[in-house]
Every structure is written in C-alpha cells, then in structure tokens.
Structure 1
C-alpha cells in the first residue's frame, strides 16, 4: 500500500490474531433464517393481490401460479446451491459470473447492484417506519421527517450490528424469522379452522375454483411475474457461502427444506385470505392481512400490523447483511475501493463494506423520490439470475473436474436460463417505457468506470493516503488467506 504505518499494523494484526479472514459461523438454522427472512417480507401480509388480479379473480389459476412460482424459485435455488458448494465465496452471483463469464460482466452486475440493492433497503426501512409509527397517528398521515428519521436510525442500527458481529446479526435474524413465521401460522391455521367448520360462503370459493374467466397468456405471465416477486430472496444464501459451516451439506439441505416450506405457507395463507374475503375484497384491500384480522380476530387485530413491521425488519436485516458481503467481494476483486475489502481486527467482520452500503442506502432515504427510479431495474434481477445459471452451464463444460459436492440436473439450469430471458423481456415488450432504456444505459455505463480504473488500472496516489487514514480510524486490516 506504500504506507509503512498501515503495513506495520497489518502485520501485527496477523501475528496476533492468526489468519485474518471471515469465519464460518453460519449453521443450517441460521442459513434457513436468512433465506426465509429475506423472502418473507411485507408482501404476503400487505398486498398479495397481483397474482389474483392478473388471474382475473380465478382462485384456481391463482393458487396454481403461486405453486409454480415456488417451483421455479426452488429450481433457481438448486442451481445456486451447486455454485455455492463448488465455489463457496462471498458475493453470490457476482463471484460466479466473474469466474465463468469474466470480469466486465461481473463489474456491470456489481455496478447495478450497488445502486439497486441499497435503494431496496431504503424502501424497506421507510416501509418499516410507516408501519411502526402508524398506530400512534391513527387515520392521520405520519410526518415525513419522522418516517425518514426512524428509517435512517433503523438502517444504521442494523449496519452497525452487522459490522460488529456476525453471530449477533444471525441471532437477530433467527428471532425475527421465528416471529414472522408465527404470525403467518396464525393466518394459515385460522383459515384451515374456518374451512373445517365448513360455512357455505367460505367453502364455495374453492368448490368452484376455476369457475371465473380464464386469463390469457399475457395475463398469466404478468401474474407469474407478480408471484415470483414475492419469492424474491431465494438467492441470499450464496452471499454467505464463505461463512457457512460445512457448505457442501448445509447449502443444499437449507435450500431443499426452506423453499418447499415457504411455498406451502404461501398457499395456506392465500387460502386463508380467500376463506374470509371474496376475491374482489382481496384485490381491493390495501393491507389484506389487516382486513383479515379485523374479520377473524378483531380483539387482537393489532398483532398483524406489528407482524408486518417485524417481517420488514427481519427482511431488512438479511438484506443489509448480504449487501455487505457483495461489496466486500467486489472490493477483493479490485472493483471497489480497497478499504471496502478490509476486516475489523477485533471482530473479523467486513465493517467497511457494511458502512459503505449503509451510507449509499441512507442517501436514497433522504430524497426518497429516488427509490421510484429503481422500479425500472426489476428486469436486471432476472438478467443476473439468467447470467448466473449460464455460468453454471459454462463451468460444467469448461471446468468438468471442478469439485462439485452437489450437482443439479443440468436441464434445470437450461430451464432457468429460458425463464430468466422471458422475464427480462416480458415487462419491456408488454409495457415498454423509456425508463427501461435509461436503466439499460445506466447498467452499460458502468463500463466507463471499468475500462480506465479496472482494465487499465489507473490509480491516484492520494487514494492510498485516504485508505491508510480510514484503516487506522476503523481499525481494519486486509484479509489474509492461507495458500492452498
């Protein structure tokens, strides 16, 4: 680095603490909590209307689409499980795309994610603030300053927590995942009880499930898109691969148990909603779970809004954790400033990466209108999933001797590539907007930074001085891995 003081600190840290690297502290239960906690956010509680709306209120078609979305998510997660066990590295898709498809594509993914994922975290933090403060204001709107202040406070609390202790972050994730699943269980069991009682108006909607108009192909595709959004987050475990205990066993096992469980829960919760509410009421409700609670458990209906806030908090914690690993991996590859790849010398956590991603998310919260821009980056998520599954196929043929503790059935990977391509093109073809062009230009614009600073390695001396000062201030040191 060219700074004797910083180099001396690095050597002292290594000699005192051994090899500076991320620790494997995430077991099966913690991994399952991260996947469930990321997938199950506010959507299933607040507004599971998209699938039913585009299914033309056809209950049977809607439930089939929910099931199909769960199967597609499981297919994708199994593809990621092979990559995560063969290449147990932090960074998820970024690391796999870089290995198989090259540094430029990986940089475009990182460039897009560093813009899109913090904006998503900002949106979650604002939504949490909305639900956490709403009970104190009743029908009155919550002051914007209060919402933004609480959102910033929550964001920084989670950023600091994740930067200080992986075990504590995993513990928080586990607790909030259990709480949100308990709330979902209340809704699911409540629906089953009402069905068993067999009131005519409750059962009739399922006896004639396919009686309504059948949607056309475009509407089914749109409903499918809405359903897959509710399953978003199944890829989160790959960001933690470097910290998972016995990844060869725990990553596939976690995927194979959590995704089917979430699919069953989603089906039961939707059945419960439709047992109590008509399809029209579901589609017109702003918060379906709250409407359900007012009908079924009016005396303790406050449990559901509280559960929504808990659910959002757990999803935000998981997203903050995984985003830190992404920026950490990008910095290790030279795609972000060096300081972002360093670990705290006391806790061996990527504290600078957590600070970096939290600062960007905070910028989005202050002028929250910016968050709306990221809605047009939805297609980029499936573009990167498609590239990741393509990476699996490429590595199968290019590196056949790579040790793969788990191998997915190869046609599953080809199927995911085809589905991803369809989901990338669908919103652009059906509802073309100029914003999609801007989003594409922004993604490709990352190459304007890649060419000079990564490919040609243009470097400024003052950056080394800033890095050294930050290193001493934050008490961080570069990771150091034993040679194989």
Structure 2
C-alpha cells in the first residue's frame, strides 16, 4: 500500500490554480491600490513583482520536492537536513495554520453563499456555521476518495474560476480598446500620480504576496505526481505565469470600469465590477465566485493530510494517520482534520488565532532555504536532475527575513510576542513527545480498533524510497 502517482502536468497546473487563486484577487486590489497612493503603474508593478518573487521562492521549494519526491516533502526534507526538531517545529506550525485556515475559509464561503438570502441585514451565525460545517464535511468525504476523483473536481472548479476572471479581463480590455472617454481617461497622466513612501510600498507588497500563496500544495503531494522531477518545476513556471497574467489583466479591468475611489470603497472589487457592467447577472456571478472558491477548502485538506501522513510515518503523530484505505487515501488523517477544523468553526473566535501563526509560515520557508544551502555544500554530488539557480536560494532567504521582520519593525505589538511564544511551545512539545514516546505501546490496541473501523492498512514507509 502506498500513495499512487496519478497527477500529470495538466492536472498539476489545475491544482496549482486551485490553491493559488483564492479570495485575494477579489478582495485584495482594494488594499493594494490604497497603499499604492492610487498610483496605477506602481500598483500594477507591485502585482507583477509579487508574482515573480513568489515564482522564485516556489522554484527553490521545487528542488527539495524533486530531491525528495515524497508526500509531505517539506517535512521529510527538514528531517533529513536540519534534524527531527526542525521537522517537528514545521509540523507544529502547519498543523495550526492549515486547521485554522480551513475553518476560516469555510466560514467565509458560507457567508458569501448565505448572504443573498438575508438582503439588507447580516446573516445569522447559526445557519452560517451549519453551512460551513456541511461544506467542510463534503470536502472531507471527497478527499477520502481516489486522487483522480479529487483532481477531476479541482479541474472543473479551476476552469470555472479562470472563466470568471477571464470574462472580467477580456471585457475590461475590450472597453479599453474601444476607447470610451471615461475608460481611457483613467489611464491618462498616470505617471504624474503621487508615489507611495517606503512603508506604504511594503504594506502593498505584503497584501499582494499573500494572494500568490498556494504553490506549497504541489510540494506536499510530490509523492503523487508523475515524473516529479520534470512535472513540478514545469507546472510551477507555467501555472504561476498564468496566475500573474490573470492577476494583472483583472486589475487593469477593475481600473478600466471602476475609478480608484470606487475600488477602495468596495468590499469586493469583482462584485462591484459586475454590478457596473452586467447588473442583471450580478447574483449569478456572485454565486459562481463563491462556488469556485470552495476548492480552496479541498486544497487545504489535501495538503494538510499529506503532512500528517508523512509525520505519522516518522512517529511524530499516531501511526494510524499513515494508513491508507482502498482508495489509497490517508482517510484517518482527513477525518482528524475535519474534526479539528470543525471545532474552529463552531468556536469561531479561534479563527482569529490564525494571525498569530503567520510568523511561523515564513520561519518554515527560511528553514527550507537553509536546508537547501546545507545539502548544496555538504552533498554537492547528491543526485538530482533539477537544481535551482543558487542566487534564487539567497533571494528566497532575503525574502523570508524581510517578511518575518518587516511587520515587527513597522508596527511592533503584543501579537509578535505571542507568535514567538507559539514557536517556543512547539519546541517544548517536541521535547515532551520525545520523552513520552516510550509509552506509545499502550496505544497499540486502540490503533488496531481504529484500523478495523476505517478499514485501512499500513503503507510503505517513504524512507525506503529515498537514498540519502
């Protein structure tokens, strides 16, 4: 029993589009334009810069995934390069990041879906949470199926999402080419606009960069990708190039139809755009946007379950998490993710804790880059057909340091202390887990019962597949 390699180049691109294109492009343009001092060239340049730096970082991660082409490659890589403590710290961070993010996304999408039924007033919390739990359970059931089934759903959802953004982009370009006065005039004398200061530029860049996150999904499912040494780098370059192009054209379309002041005052630029261009179909487009964003929940479950799977084989989580069902899916890991994410939905105040683990995400990226440098200099002859350009690794290290320390320097507050405490708690839990591991034998009978209940079998250990 092992995870099957069924994801080819086209489906890998679809998964990348699913995980990367989220609510950011529908909401973030407001903040980016505001921090750019309503300067259109600066705004578009920041969107392009964020995409290029995201691609640089993703290509660095591709090297670790092609060197260790297994599921949960980031965890496996850190264990082999920086040791078990660094790997456990990454598990500690990602466990909270994924679970809280999945809960937050479920609530956000439920809010969009249910709000049209409560016109003129906010939707009640109870039906919103029930809808979020139903969506979460549905995607949990989907994630327990064959990987081919999951990929087919992601492909359909990605095409729907790209179709909506393509409609917005093409319509904006047509209006711009036609040359109506009110559309063309917005792009006249744009070079004379006020330039943002350094702090505003940084804030705008941070907003944009978060809209490009999602490439880590391919790294976490590297064990299920066909020919990962070729597929992963090609998919990251082609997929992220498409995302950059879509983001730029969509922003140009927003600016063609809406004035900068209208974008800043809007909660969702896409819905405001639709209301201006085709008001009669605004409700349908709004529903389409909400449905197309639901695949982000599935991507989160897929990514988190593979991390749990890898950590379970390493003994850092219960062994039952690495067992596979008849569809070759780690169904117990998926089941546990659904339960923990449901808790964050029911007690929705927990979702606000996600801001406390943001620092940890960039710490993991920094550790990955340090690990890459370590194997480059310690094991220069390590076989691997894909090697990222060395300056890219140093660039990713600089980017991680920038994203870690810039918020602390710009606006220091008590939240940063909580983030540091959170990281130290991870190291404390690693120490406790190491010293209590000798008592794991008492859980063998419980594991046997769960194995019978879920009808799962132990999988082949990924360590046997990699020579390092």
* TM-score normalised according to structure 2 size: 0.96
Deviation at 1:174? 0.7
The answer to which of 289-298 and 447-456 deviates more is: 447-456
Task: Report the CA distance shift for 1:471/1:358 in structure 2 as closer, same or farther (over 3 A).
Answer: same
Deviation at 1:481? 5.1
Q: Partners in 2 of 1:46 and 1:200 — Cα distance? A: 27
CA contact (8 A) 1:92 1:236 kept: no
Within 5 Å, give how 1:146-157 maps onto structure 2. 146-157=127-138
Q: Which residue of 2 aligns with 1:373?
A: 353
Q: Partners in 1 of 2:425 and 2:461 — Cα distance? A: 33
Q: Partners in 2 of 1:166 and 1:444 — Cα distance? A: 36
> Which consecutive segments of 4 or more residues in structure 1 shift more than 6 A?
none
CA contact (8 A) 1:65 1:224 kept: yes
Q: Partners in 1 of 2:187 and 2:218 — Cα distance? A: 36
Q: Does 1:424 align with 2:404?
A: yes
Q: Does 1:361 align with 2:348?
A: no
Q: Does 1:115 align with 2:103?
A: no
CA contact (8 A) 1:50 1:227 kept: no
Deviation at 1:454? 2.6
Q: Which residue of 2 aligns with 1:414?
A: 394
Within 5 Å, give how 1:75-154 maps onto structure 2. 75-154=56-135
Match of 2:328 among 328, 344, 348: 348
Q: Partners in 2 of 1:314 and 1:322 — Cα distance? A: 12
Within 5 Å, give how 1:291-310 maps onto structure 2. 291-310=272-291
CA contact (8 A) 1:74 1:256 kept: yes
Q: Which residue of 2 aligns with 1:394?
A: 374
Q: Does 1:465 align with 2:445?
A: yes
Q: Does 1:435 align with 2:418?
A: no
* TM-score normalised according to structure 1 size: 0.93
CA contact (8 A) 2:161 2:292 kept: yes
Q: Give me the CA root mean square deviation.
A: 1.5
Q: Partners in 2 of 1:176 and 1:425 — Cα distance? A: 36
Q: Partners in 2 of 1:215 and 1:67 — Cα distance? A: 17
Q: Which residue of 2 aligns with 1:6?
A: none
CA contact (8 A) 2:363 2:400 kept: yes
CA contact (8 A) 1:47 1:286 kept: no
Deviation at 1:330? 1.2
Q: Which residue of 2 aligns with 1:262?
A: 243
Q: Partners in 1 of 2:94 and 2:331 — Cα distance? A: 19
Q: Partners in 1 of 2:277 and 2:442 — Cα distance? A: 64
Deviation at 1:239? 0.6
CA contact (8 A) 1:121 1:361 kept: yes
Q: Partners in 1 of 2:440 and 2:3 — Cα distance? A: 29
CA contact (8 A) 1:26 1:245 kept: yes
Q: Partners in 2 of 1:283 and 1:216 — Cα distance? A: 19
Deviation at 1:214? 0.7
CA contact (8 A) 1:122 1:361 kept: yes
Give per-residue Cα distances to partners, 1:351-379, cap 9 Å, x unaligned: 11111111111110001011111113222
Q: Give unpaired runs (5+ residues) of structure 1.
A: 1-19
Match of 1:196 among 177, 185, 209: 177
Deviation at 1:277? 0.9
Secondary structure at 1:477 match in 2: coil
Match of 1:280 among 261, 282, 286: 261
The answer to which of 90-99 and 404-413 deviates more is: 90-99
